[in-house]
């Protein structure tokens, strides 16, 4: 059974955390845990705000974590939800409340600034943090990322497109820190896969910005010799408008393949855009993700948020680590060595693993848009192999 910790009580602890929040991030260790006793998991999710989208996402993560807990056999996991409100201040307070309550490991928070705020508090108590964030800048020390990074998605889509002979790559991305992070991830992945970046261009993320900048970007793409354009934007941004505008400005489907960095299947409206028809994008293994979605909907009466599966995966990893430690007679299930085992873990969204620097890898499938539907065209791998390959 999931337990919920009230947000109000956690907030009174904020003033006591100023010193802890400034503590340096050293190597994560993890405290001694009796794997034969109940394992206390502090689940930090963005509940307790006035934002309905954050509330829905936070509840989805908690629901998925409970589904995973119900699937666990022979390991006693106790989950307590600590609302963060989606803010760094409340995340810091939630982490302190988790420490006070005797947590053995922290699962969450979601946002990168909340992770930065919570991690030193957890580290001061010797706790590892399995964050839902995908931002590599917050990884390391006692923080390990469950979210799918731009690097992981870029390696998958770049590897696939280049294997199809589409080696001349243009990158079109929103301006700003996130857009630049995505652009760099694609550029690095293309180079590793043996392709060539023949051009890249950014645009302000607004209707006016896209409208004003696309004519020059379209000319650049047409003149670059690109045979594939990676669009790093997502369905909640300017993806559909950018694709439609580029096609309308002469970037023809017959000459230039569109590929995505983010999931397009989270929006039926996006999949129905003619400009994205036959486009490719990476997403979790449809077999495992589909099975999870079916179970979630049966249990809670609604489809899961696209990120909800991270809650399931976090609990699945924790359960596997505790079971492994118990089998070996160890009291250190959350050591960095165990967390970063090359073979990784299996979860609702496919297989995943943590790297020594705290970042993560995930096995992704490649999908194509066909008649308003996303269909898998290249399956996700089912194993990393014991050597991490």
**388 pLDDT more than 80:** no
Tokens (6 digits) for 355: 């790297």
pLDDT of residue 12: 31
**191 pLDDT more than 70:** yes
Q: Average pLDDT of 162-183?
A: 97
With tokens 């261009």, the residue in question is 201
* pLDDT digits 0-9 by tens, 14-49: 333 332 333 333 333 445 788 788 999 999 999 999
Tokens (6 digits) for 4: 């919920």
At the second CATH level, the architecture of 2-147+307-358 is 3-Layer(aba) Sandwich (3.40)
3-state class of 354 per DSSP? strand
Domain range annotation of the chain: 2-147+307-358, 150-283+366-378
* pLDDT digits 0-9 by tens, 225-281: 999 999 999 999 999 999 999 999 999 999 999 999 999 999 999 999 999 999 999
Query: How much helix, strand and coil, in percent to the nearest 5, is found in the chain?
Result: 45, 20, 35
The beta strands (E) that lie in 222-347 are given as 228-231, 257-260, 280-284, 345-347
Calculate the average pLDDT of the chain.
92
Output the DSSP codes for 199-252: EEEEE-SSHHHHHHHHHHHHHHHHHHT-SEEEE---TTTTHHHHHHHHHHTT--
What's 150-283+366-378's CATH class?
alpha beta
In the DSSP assignment, the letter for residue 381 is P
Same fold, 2-147+307-358 and 150-283+366-378: yes
In this prediction the pTM is 0.89
3-state SS, 110-154, equals: CCHHHHHHHHHHHHHCCCCEEECCCCHHHCECCEEECCCCHHHHH
The beta strands (E) that lie in the chain are given as 2-4, 39-45, 77-83, 105-107, 129-131, 143-145, 168-174, 196-203, 228-231, 257-260, 280-284, 345-347, 350-354, 360-362, 364-370, 373-378
Tokens (6 digits) for 133: 């964030």
* pLDDT digits 0-9 by tens, 90-131: 999 999 999 999 999 999 999 999 999 999 999 999 999 999
pLDDT of residue 22: 33
């Amino acid at each position: 059974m999931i337990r919920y910790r009230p947000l109000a009580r956690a907030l009174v602890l904020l003033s006591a955390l100023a010193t802890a929040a400034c503590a340096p991030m050293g190597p994560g260790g993890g405290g001694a845990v009796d794997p034969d006793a109940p394992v206390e998991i502090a689940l930090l999710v963005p509940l307790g705000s006035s934002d309905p989208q954050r509330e829905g996402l936070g509840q989805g993560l908690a629901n998925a974590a409970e589904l995973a807990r119900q699937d666990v056999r022979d390991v006693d996991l106790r989950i307590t939800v600590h609302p963060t409100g989606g803010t760094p201040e409340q995340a810091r307070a939630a982490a302190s409340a988790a420490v006070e309550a005797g947590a053995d490991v922290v699962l969450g928070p979601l946002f990168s600034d909340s992770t930065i705020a919570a991690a030193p508090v957890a580290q001061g108590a010797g706790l590892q943090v399995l964050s839902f964030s995908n931002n590599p800048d917050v990884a390391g020390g006692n923080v390990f990322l469950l979210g799918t990074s731009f690097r992981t998605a870029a390696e998958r889509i770049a590897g696939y497109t280049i294997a199809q002979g589409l080696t001349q790559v243009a990158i079109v991305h929103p301006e700003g820190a996130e857009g630049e992070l995505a652009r760099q991830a694609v550029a690095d992945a293309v180079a590793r896969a043996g392709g060539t970046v023949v051009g890249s261009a950014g645009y302000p993320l607004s209707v006016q910005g896209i409208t004003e900048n696309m004519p020059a970007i379209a000319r650049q793409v047409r003149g670059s010799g690109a045979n594939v354009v990676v669009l790093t934007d997502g369905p909640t941004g300017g993806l559909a408008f950018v694709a439609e505008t580029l096609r309308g400005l002469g970037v023809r489907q017959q000459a230039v393949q569109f590929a995505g960095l983010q999931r397009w299947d989270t929006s039926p409206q996006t999949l129905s855009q003619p400009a994205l028809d036959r486009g490719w994008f990476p997403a979790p293994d449809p077999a495992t993700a589909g099975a999870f979605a079916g179970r979630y909907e049966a249990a809670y009466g609604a489809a899961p948020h696209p990120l909800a599966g991270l809650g399931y995966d976090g609990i699945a990893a924790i359960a596997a680590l505790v079971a492994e430690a118990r089998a070996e007679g160890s009291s250190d299930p959350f050591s960095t060595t165990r967390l970063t085992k090359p073979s990784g873990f299996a979860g609702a969204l496919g297989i995943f693993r943590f790297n020594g620097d705290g970042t993560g890898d995930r096995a992704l499938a490649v999908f194509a848009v066909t008649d308003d539907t996303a269909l898998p065209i290249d399956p996700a791998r089912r194993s990393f192999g014991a050597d991490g390959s």
